[in-house]
Structure 1
Amino acid sequence: MSTKNRDELDHAVNRRRFLGVAAGTTAAAIAGTAGAAGATAQPRGAGHGRPAVPRGNLGIQLYTLRDQIGTAGFAKVFDALERYGYDQVEYAGYTQGNGPLTLPQLRRLARDHGLRGIGSHVAYHVGDPAGYSFATSLEQVLDDAEALDLPYVGTWDGPFRYGTTVDGVRRASAEFNAYGAAAHRRGLRFYQHNHGNEFGFCSDDPTVRIYDLMLAETDPDLVFMEMDIYWAYTGVHRFSVRPDGTPAPFDPLDYVTAAPRRFPLFHVKDGEHDAASQDGYHMTDVGDGDIDYQRFIGTVTGGRYRKYHNWLVERDDAVNPDTNPAGSLSTARRSATHLHHLRA
């Protein structure tokens, strides 16, 4: 396994361990110091014009705040998110570290803080130690999404269960279609969240980009996409040339403008260019990096589907004190501030 594939596998495993031993800022930080920590400069892209992110469409993937949920619990986290001006939350597990909580209780708790559950990340086929995944627990996954009144339920896993050949990606895509059909029957929508490797090429046909094949093989009425914008741009860095050396440039934004209703959800994650990184970037809070979100979000929300798209802050390493010493709550606050001020 390559270093890059191992890194992405580690990322997926960390999601499955979403609420293990929590580290980072304590519950006291939520109640007091987090709101004041780290002064925020005037965001880039601020100024005249309408808000780039429509009111009601700003959310956060709770994986970003897994340390806080693991220590202080959902109530304290939701209180902070309400103060920061978030409208939505995307779940990455339904348990907390400070006592059990039923799904109806969790739904009410979010509602009481002015938050709507927009979606949830669930394993595609491996699952947590209890085997919770689309492949092993489909009806339970859908039951849970219904209990939380989620319009979307999806997976962070790529279409790699059967390898990276054309046939392997087609087999995985067929399973995504089946999950999408099952979700549709329950009034839900299934979605897939990308990392970087989806923009690579099939191992037995380097003329075929995996993401393109997955889009072509899945039913657009049943399988929707949550584009992680940061990971898509790492794909540009890594896969703009085919294995045989021929150019294969692409712009992630073009996928969205070509099929805007296919992409109801986005992960808004920023990164600075980094020549030492295989990805070409390292993660930052939204607004501190080099991804042109004024262009990206402004283009998407400038069309007829302005209120259709949902913008969810995420930073995978927000709990890592080495790469993010200000902590995950600071990431949530500073990213929301930037996006609230962004104009298009």
Structure 2
Amino acid sequence: MFKSPVSRRQVLTASAGAAAALGAAGLPVLATGSPALAHGHGSGRLRVEPLIPARNRGIILYSVRDRISAAPDDSGVPYGFERVLARLAEIGYKEIEFAGYNQNTSILGRQITPAEIRKILDDNGLVANGAHTSINAATFDQQLDIAETLGMKHIGTGSDPTGSAYRSDWDAAADLWNELGRKARKRGMKLYTHNHDAAYGFLLDAGPLDANGKPTRSSGQRKLEYFFGRTDERYVFFEMDIYWAYVARFKHHTYVDARGNAREDLFDPILTVAPRTERFPLFHAKDGDRAPAQVNGYTMVPLGEGDINFQQFFEVIGEQNYHHANWEQDTAPGGAANPGQSIDFAGISYRNMSDLTIYRR
């Protein structure tokens, strides 16, 4: 059951409570933007729990795509689904989000099947928690079949429901997603969409029309947040990519209102999730170093080595047992010069994800 929306005051109170708990435990209180991790031991009446339960720590295979797609080689680094998934399980990951279902055909002399991938998951104690695939009416049933074979409870895409800035296109996308989400629910799955920064840019939905009859200014409504309200909470869910959400905070903070005035509106990823936290079953736990001179404001790094405050993020949004955190780093592959880099980064990121701790009374 979905909880009633929380107010900004309630969220900030929760954040203050989180800081108080850390302080009471003798730990440094992390300001927004501080490194992700908290360390130390609780005192007295505080009990220590993992902030992200072990069973909910995952990885999207896009992070290690170079090794999933690699042909057999003598580098000593795992390749293909069987070897890479076994290594990820050794590291500690319990969940896998797919980014395609193909590997190099030289491994088996043909393409691997979803049923064979499922056996690899089962043999290694892994669970498929989602997939980035193509979401459209023509192929959706086929994608649901694959997801069912793999045992998924979520099915999604790495693309926005529409790339448009106009309300009418988001309305049409919402109608389609409500329909497909209803079909997914009948198969025991939740349909989700994943964001990049553009999804949290502003709608063009106000002001003078252009030569094509399209609005040229904004009411200040953000595209994906408009989509939240236009889709049915029973059928359509979301995977926040935390890195891209903070890029949106950096990039998309001004708009021109209907009267032509520049307006400032700072995006807050935590305050976007907290009022509707159970519409976000999945997250991409992707870290970044601040780089204000670059267009995105951040550069990607392994989890725990950047400036995004995952401690604050996951503690304030609550519902720790409900949320699944999938590590992702688009830039993890090291290429021929360092073929083991993505697997190494997976290990670093898992250890740092495990170090996120919550202290409860």
Q: After TM superposition, is the score higher than 0.5?
A: yes
CA distance in 1, matches of 2:191, 2:351: 30
Tell me which residue corresponds to 1:44: 37
Runs (5+) with no aligned partner, structure 2: 1-34, 42-47, 71-78, 207-217
Tell me which residue corresponds to 1:67: 66
Change (3 A) 1:112 1:136: same
Identity %: 35
Quick check: which has more Rg, 1 or 2? 2
Once the two structures are overlaid, the 10-residue window that deviates more, 50-59 or 324-333, is 324-333
Using the size of structure 1 for normalisation, the TM-score is: 0.80
CA distance in 1, matches of 2:268, 2:353: 22
CA distance in 2, matches of 1:113, 1:64: 19
| Local SS of the residue matching 1:246 | strand
Structure 1 position 82 matched with structure 2 position 89 = yes
Structure 1 position 331 matched with structure 2 position 355 = no
Match of 1:255 among 263, 272, 277: 272
CA distance in 1, matches of 2:115, 2:315: 36
Task: Determine if contact 1:317/1:323 at 8 Å carries over to the other structure.
Answer: no
Tell me which residue corresponds to 1:95: 102
- The Cα offsets for residues 75-134 of structure 1, whole Å up to 9 and x where unpaired, read as 11111111111010001111111232221111111111111000111123xxxxxxxxx2
Change (3 A) 1:298 1:325: farther
CA distance in 1, matches of 2:314, 2:189: 25
Tell me which residue corresponds to 1:317: 331
Task: Please report how far the alpha carbon of residue 240 of structure 1 lies from its aligned counterpart in structure 2 after TM superposition.
Answer: 1.7
- The Cα offsets for residues 206-238 of structure 1, whole Å up to 9 and x where unpaired, read as 122101111111111100000000000100011
Tell me which residue corresponds to 1:277: 294
Task: Please report how far the alpha carbon of residue 47 of structure 1 lies from its aligned counterpart in structure 2 after TM superposition.
Answer: 2.3
Runs (5+) with no aligned partner, structure 1: 1-41, 125-133
Structure 1 position 155 matched with structure 2 position 172 = no
CA distance in 1, matches of 2:340, 2:304: 15
Change (3 A) 1:251 1:174: same
Tell me which residue corresponds to 2:195: 194
Task: Please report how far the alpha carbon of residue 295 of structure 1 lies from its aligned counterpart in structure 2 after TM superposition.
Answer: 0.7
Task: Please report how far the alpha carbon of residue 256 of structure 1 lies from its aligned counterpart in structure 2 after TM superposition.
Answer: 1.8
Match of 1:109 among 88, 105, 120: 120
CA distance in 2, matches of 1:242, 1:80: 46
Task: Determine if contact 2:36/2:310 at 8 Å carries over to the other structure.
Answer: no
How many residue pairs align between the two structures? Answer: 290
| Local SS of the residue matching 2:133 | coil
One-letter amino acid matched to 1:258: P
| Local SS of the residue matching 1:190 | strand
